[in-house]
Structure 1
Amino acid sequence: MNWTIEVVSVPVSDLDRAKAFYADQVGFVVDHDISVNETTRFVQLTPPGSGCSIVIATGMGNDMVPGSLRGLQLVVPDLATAHAELVERGVAVSDIQILGANPYPVPHPLDNVGFVFFADPDGNGWGVQQISSRA
């Protein structure tokens, strides 16, 4: 049986600001923006090519503190291009960093070990890793 992660809840303080950040600046696709009632609204966004989405919401009983989520990670085949896109869209992103020694012979020196980091307006932390081929 396959077990897949399909949705991760990201705690935010301002739904519209977070939606604009993830859609307009990071480039996620808005799948749903649904108001259930006057106090409950959820927005589902998916990174291009991903099988897993994020949900930002109000009125859903989420006890997480906005900005408290760390360690979310995106994977891209070309980190330099991803970094340039984030910079162009106005995301405050770190320079490309190499973390550790590459454990596998790969076609590109950034594979597995190349990362950039950014945070959403609330401070939820994201990493972007380059993996252009899998072992």
Structure 2
Amino acid sequence: MIRGVKFVSIPVLDQDRALAFYTEKLGFRLVTDQPFSEEQRWIELGIPGADTRVVLFRFGEEIKPGGQMNMTFWTDNVEATVGEMKRKGVTILKGPAKAGWGTSAVFADPDGNQFLVGTK
């Protein structure tokens, strides 16, 4: 049976710029950075305290960066996390806002990918 999600891929245009954003601004850690093809590298990141990893990948014409991503990050304190993200220069598009199910905010990476961050 399936036991979990190993990784999710985020489409990026510039792998170096994306790597800097996700490690320096969001605090992810580099797990592997190795050649994948002549055009790009396999960059896999870990999120502190999580088993699921993030891969920064260039999909060419198949999947273009920009727009709402179909994944949500969680944190214990959305307001504090958004405050830290703002101090690091992350673009916050919406929130934090409270709803019946919890608190959430929307942020964007340098490629225009939009992510929800909310409470667990």
Q: Alpha carbon RMSD of aligned pairs, Å?
A: 2.0
Q: Which structure has the highest strand share of the two?
A: 2
Structure 1 moving runs of 4+ over 4 Å: none
TM-score, L = length of structure 2: 0.85
DSSP 3-state at the match of 1:24: helix
DSSP 3-state at the match of 2:3: coil
What amino acid does structure 2 have at the position aligned with 1:65?
K
Structure 1, unmatched stretches of 5+, are 102-111
Where does residue 81 of structure 1 map in the other structure? Answer: 80
CA distance in 2, matches of 1:50, 1:61: 29
What amino acid does structure 1 have at the position aligned with 2:15?
L
Pair member with larger Rg: 1
Q: Percent identity?
A: 29
Structure 2, unmatched stretches of 5+, are none
Query: Aligned runs of 1:30-45 on 2, under 5 Å?
Result: 30-45=30-45
| 1:61 positional shift | 7.0
| 1:38 positional shift | 3.3
Aligned residue pair count: 119
CA distance in 2, matches of 1:61, 1:71: 19
DSSP 3-state at the match of 1:118: strand
| 1:29 positional shift | 0.9
TM-score, L = length of structure 1: 0.77
Does 2:107 match 1:118? yes
Per-residue CA distance 1:16-56 (angstroms, 9 max, x = gap): 11111111111111111112453231111122111111111
Checking the alignment, whether the CA contact within 8 Å between 1:74 and 1:128 is kept in structure 2 is: yes
DSSP 3-state at the match of 1:129: strand
